[in-house]
Every structure is written in C-alpha cells, then in structure tokens.
Chains A and B, each alone.
Chain A
C-alpha cells in the first residue's frame, strides 16, 4: 500500500476545499438555512406534527441528506474529472500507485468534506429547532456510509464524464429529484397508497428513512431495509469501480 500517495491525494483535495471555503462550505450552509426558514419556520408553523415530531425537526435528516448526497457526489466527480480536464491525470497514471489507492484518496477526501458539511448543517439546525438524537451512533454511521457510497458514485461519474455538462447531469437530473421525492420534506405515509408503492423503488427513501430513524426512533421502512439498501448501493459502486480498474475505461488508452 502506497500510504504516502493516498495522503498526498487526500491532502491536495482537502486543500482545494479550504481554498474555496465560500463555495464548498458556506454556500451549502446558507442554502440549508434558507430551507429551514421557508419550510421549517414559515410553512412549518402551519403544519401539525409529523409522526409526533415537529415539522421543523422532521425535515432536518432529509435536509442533511439532500446536501450530503449532492456534495459527496459532486465533490468526488469534480475531484477526478478536473485532473482529466486539465491533463494532470498523467501523473496519477504514471505514479507507482494502484487504482484502489487513487479511489481511496479521492473518495476519502470527498466523503470527509461531505461529512463535515453534514455535521455543520446538523449544528446549524440547532439554531432553528430543538433536536434530541435517539441513536447518535447510528446517525454518524448512516451519515458516514452515505458520504462514502455517494462519493464512490461521484468518482464513477467523474471518470465517465466527457465534459462539464455530463458532470452535472447525474447530480442535477437524478440525485436532486430522488432526494426531493424520497421523503426529505414529508413522511411516505402522507402519500396516496399508489405513490407509497412507487416511492419504494426510490433508493433514497431507504437512506432518509434510516437516517430519520437514527434521529427520532421511527422510520417509513424497516431499519434492516435501510441498511441493506446502503450496503447494496455501495457494493454496486465498488463493483463498477473494480470494472473500471480492470478495463482502464476512459482512463488508459
């Protein structure tokens, strides 16, 4: 294992985060605060409790997931796409490192950044609503697994993307709608029965449900399903990355 190389990639990526602090950290925090003000305080004051939790608190897990999913995906995809775009990827390919070490470096940094932002939003939420966490260890574990899984997905997108438009395509057209429709702002039980069934095909439902269970001790779907969903998703990403490694897809000619 080339630990120095992993550390070099990780540090280099984290340095970019801190160099672009406004764009990387402050902007997601600001947009989340706006959600709290609009949905939590303004509209939320007119909504009764959902599943015995005040609406403002109810949307906290969904909001964290919304940001964390988008951030981990876009960070990791940009992290590997940028060297491809400016040509510095030659260094990664000619260095004595394995593809897995490259993945650990980039995905590790992207997941760390998303995790940090998730925690910052969690702290920010306390300024707007009262929160008590039912299962703190599970909450951290869920958040961590989500960050890593979606950073893996982002890495795959970064390898696949041929231009900046494609880079934005999946986060914008797939992830954001899935999160919005995955119960970020409502409980699945609030939907008509047909939509409840359809929603079960949305993988993000399981993530948000599991995460919400960690917060409030209640969930839309059983915890086991949530854990299974994240494990299957991560396995699929790892399998795809393994395939990219074996074939050199879009990396080595």
Chain B
C-alpha cells in the first residue's frame, strides 16, 4: 500500500516555551484506520492541527499524497477532511447551506446531489433543511463529518469523535467509520478511549508528552506486549500456593484457584512443567482458561514507563 501521509521530525514549541511536539515521525498507509491514543495534553490535537494547516510547525516536514503541505498547500489540503473535537458550527444556518459552504471553500463547484448522497450515508438526509441549532449533539457531530467529507477527501481526521457522546452514538460513529473505510477513505482518529481504538483501528499509535511512543498493528501490539494469564480452577479450593509450586509465578484467585502469569511471546512458557508439577502436588484440575491483557493495560504500562 502507498503512503498517503508522511510526517517527519515535526516539532511545535509555543511562544511561552511549552514544547507540545518533540519530533514526531508518522507514516500513514492509504486506506487504513489509525487510532492515535494518548492522555489529555499529549499533543494529539496539536499534531492534527499542524497537518491540517490550522497551526504551524516549529520544524519538520509533512507531505500529503506526495505534496508538501506548506509549499503545495492547496493540493495537500484538498486531500484532507477534518472533523474537529469541538462542535464548531454556525447555529443559524441550515445543514445543507453549511455543507455547501464547506464544499465551496474547497474549490468544488456546487453539487447538491453529491452532498445529499453524503447526508444519506450519515443518516442526516431528513434534517437537510433544519437549522443547525435545532439538532441534537449527535446530529451536529454528523454535520461536522458531512462538512469534512463533502469535498471527497482521501484522508479524514477525526479528533476525538466520541468525546462526550453516549454509548449508542459511539457505536453509530464506529459504524460510520467502518462504512468510510469501505469507500476507501483513510481515517486517522484520536481518542483516549482504548476500547474505541480496539474496536476501530487497524494500527494504533501511542502518543504521550509530544512524542510518539509506538505505532503498530493493533493485533500485533496486543500480542507483542500482552501478558497472558492461565486460570486454573481446582476441584478443591486452596488458600495459599503450595510449597512445591513456590518457584512458579503463581497467585491464588478469589475462587481458590490458581493464576499463572506468563509471556505468550517467550519461547518457553513453562505451562507443561507447571501442569505436571500440579499433579505431583496432589492438586486436581477442574478447568483451564487463558486471559490476555487488554490494550488498556498496555497503554497504561506504556504511559507510566514514559513518565518514569
């Protein structure tokens, strides 16, 4: 797949001396969904603002579809659609007029048929003549997406698309993103909800204190960094780990079973040895299951390590 966005060594230092970005490198492949995960103040919005032209970088280069985003800003920005974090809309305008305005800004001739198609994709079509101020929060967010999509961008930035949105709307948003991916749009979304990244993204980038800590395939990331646990249920519950098994990293579960922690990626997990030692210790197995740590555990570990 071709690289559609290339960010190289981008830094941002504000006038007061605060360094919001410390040399960010990022490559985005065409058609993928990348979730940029990070705590508040990590630099997610600053990075997006710089790529979209709202803020200027202190140093570094950005190319969008091969165009330098400063020198060939018209060609570069034509490829980008931005859905901002805040619901910034003209309250007195109708949905249709507002979207028409956005399409015009991107230099496209008026095409109401295309706009209506987009409104249908976002289940907004029946609201097209409503004033924005009469819409619910969720609908307003859809208007923002419609405005970002109306010039047919190749890359869509969603800055915390589900911040402050109820569970049902959040699921809706995930569906919309999945539909967009089907139409070939590359999606970059920022979030601090880990489950959102897990549910939507192909790749996940973790950003903290203005630095990208890692960017990896979601599954690989969970697998690589994931600690696994083997849950051992016993016929007869126990209170403490038997002496004979003391050299294993074991703990007793609430139900009186055993929990064995191991690294799934290590060549030798030690499970075979443990199972035979259990029998020798006179313990009888009732059931076995494994549990893998969630992205949230990984994320918390990463950010903690960075802070340390």
Binding site for B on A (CB under 8 A): 2-5, 7-9, 11-12, 15-16, 19, 86-88, 90-97, 248, 252-253
Contacts and interface: CB of A to CB of B under 8 A. Distances in A.
Nearest to B48: A94
B88 A87 contact: yes
Contact of B80 (A2, A86, A94): A94
B53 A91 contact: no
Contacts of A2: 74, 107
A4 B49 CA distance: 24
Contacts of B86: 87
Interface stretch (B22-30, B97-105, B202-210): B97-105
B54 A90 contact: yes
Nearest to A92: B105
Contacts of A86: 88-91
The bracket for how many chain B residues form the interface is 20 to 34
Interface centre among B73, B75, B84, B104 (most CB of A within 10 A): B104
Interface of chain A: mostly helix, strand, loop or mixed? helix
A88 B89 contact: yes
A248 B92 contact: no
Contacts of B80: 94
A158 B301 CA distance: 47
A94 B54 contact: yes
Contacts of B52: 90, 93-94
A2 B108 CA distance: 9
B135 to A, nearest CB: 15
B76 to A, nearest CB: 8
Nearest to B109: A4
Given A91-B101, A94-B54, A248-B56, 4 more contacts: A9-B105, A19-B92, A88-B89, A95-B102
Contact of B100 (A8, A16, A19, A253): A8
A94 B89 CA distance: 15
Contact of B55 (A5, A16, A91, A253): A253
A218 to B, nearest CB: 46
Given A8-B100, A15-B97, A90 B105 contact: no
A7 B103 CA distance: 11
A90 B159 CA distance: 13
